[in-house]
Amino acid sequence: MILYHGSRQIVEYPEIRKAKYNKDFYFGFYCTRYEEQAKRWAARYGESGYLNKYEYVPDERLSYKVFDEMTEEWLDFIVACRRGKSHKYDIVEGPMADDTIYNYVQNYIDGKISRAAFWELAKFKYPTHQISFHTVSALDTLKFIGSEVVYGNKK
């Protein structure tokens, strides 16, 4: 399977970086199976970036968590991760809380909207996908196969 990672740089050797903010599935290296989504990630600051491509070969010895769709369990998992709670999985896969969904998640965390309101708002969003790699063993399932420049629209 081919996976994509959008970045400001070529990422031949993926790594897990601790960042200022917690992400959907906690700290990890994030990819997607959707090329267009990764291109948006690469050019999200309006500047040129890179679409990095990887061959992904799952390893049955690793611990996986897969969310096929947005569910109550998915929402609870994202809320916990965004609050800084780590998990035991090598690889986590599922829908992405993009900018709009992220705002809904944050509003839910902050108590500004109910769980029911979150689901009403979230159901109208287009499909997204992310797969995050949380250990060195997980990163070993990726083989860099190349990159291409993606142009932003900064004026």
Closest Cα partner for 33 from 88, 95, 82?
A: 95
Domain borders along the chain are 2-150
Count the neighbouring beta carbons within 10 Å of the beta carbon of residue 10: 15
Question: Which strand (E) or helix (H) includes residue 64?
Answer: strand 64-66
Q: What are the distances in angstroms from CA 56 to CA 33, 111, 121, 143?
A: 10, 39, 33, 7
Digitized pLDDT (tens) for each residue of the chain, 155 residues in all: 999 999 999 999 999 988 777 788 999 999 999 999 899 889 987 888 999 999 999 999 999 999 998 899 999 999 999 889 999 999 999 998 766 777 888 899 899 999 999 888 887 666 789 999 999 999 999 999 999 999 876 54
